[in-house]
Amino acid sequence: MTLDARLKLFVVLAGLFITSLLVGDLIGGKLYQTQVGDLTLTISVGMIPFPIVFLLTDLINEFYGRRAARFVTLVGFVMAWFTIGVLSVAQIVPWAPMTRDPTWTGFTQYTFDNIFLGSRWILICSTVAYLIGQFIDIAIFHFLRRRLHGRFLWLRATGSTAVSQLIDTIVIQILVWRGVMPSFEDIVSIIATSYLVKVVAAIALTPLIYAGHALVERGLGLEPYRADER
């Protein structure tokens, strides 16, 4: 098999996409707060990889087309469930007796279960929201691409993200935090904050999107995928 530049780039983009997706879910249980004027924003650290996922989704959409983007989305979905399965097996494996010693400073059953089983629940919720959000993102991106005849990259990228991430954010935050947060108003606050951060990040990443496109087109000599415009 010949690994040409286009195939190599696809493997790298898909690998980074899936890694960012899984890492975001694994660390998503940690929350932090920041103050903007009189407004207190509560945000999950799972937001950290979001700009990477956003940028990679756009590049895959643009240079490999709708079918490739859907394929990577489905692979990410399967890998998320594979991760859930591994975490479930890890929970079943018995703990070594030394870990019950009061002087033991490594992982204990309580800390392991608290961290990774919580992440497992986030992964389960995320797979639902992720699949819905990604397919909506891909559909809107290519709808706008056809209607705009391949122009206005910033509008295609930001517009598809604004719609898909609103749905994704609502679904995952309600599933993850329902029954955990003291009130529904707290969940709404996290939804609003997370969505605001995603939209701001999408707008702020516009120069990087154009830079990424220029790097792929000029540096690797690859042209955008045009079949989806027909």
Q: What is the reported pLDDT for 182?
A: 56
Residue at token pair 């079943």: 92
- Fold of the CATH domain 5-91+109-229: Arp2/3 complex 21 kDa subunit ARPC3 (1.10.1760)
Domain ranges of the chain: 5-91+109-229
Q: Would you say 81 and 66 are in contact if contact means Cβ atoms under 8 Å apart? A: no
Q: What is the reported pLDDT for 19?
A: 93
Q: DSSP string of the chain? A: ----HHHHHHHHHHHHHHHHHHHHHHTTT-EEEEEETTEEEEEEGGGTTHHHHHHHHHHHHHHHHHHHHHHHHHHHHHHHHHHHHHHHHHHHSPPPGGGGSTT--S--HHHHIIIIIHHHHHHHHHHHHHHHHHHHHHHHHHHHHHHTTT--HHHHHHHHHHHHHHHHHHHHHHHHHTTTSSSHHHHHHHHHHHHHHHHHHHHHTHHHHHHHHHIIIIIS-PPPP-GGG-
Q: What is the reported pLDDT for 52?
A: 83
Distance, in Å, from the CA atom of 154 to the CA atom of 162, rounded to the nearest integer, reads: 12
Structure tokens given for 80: 């998320």
Q: What is the reported pLDDT for 72?
A: 92
Residue 183 main-chain phi, psi, to 5 deg: -145, 160
Q: Would you say 202 and 140 are in contact if contact means Cβ atoms under 8 Å apart? A: no
* pLDDT digits (tens), the chain, 230 positions: 677 888 889 999 999 999 998 898 888 778 888 777 777 777 778 878 877 887 888 889 888 988 898 899 899 889 988 988 998 898 899 998 898 888 888 888 888 888 787 777 777 777 888 788 888 888 888 888 888 877 777 787 788 878 887 887 888 777 777 666 656 777 777 788 778 877 887 788 788 888 888 888 888 888 887 765 55
Q: What is the reported pLDDT for 180?
A: 62
Q: Cβ atoms within 10 A of the Cβ of 99, count?
A: 12
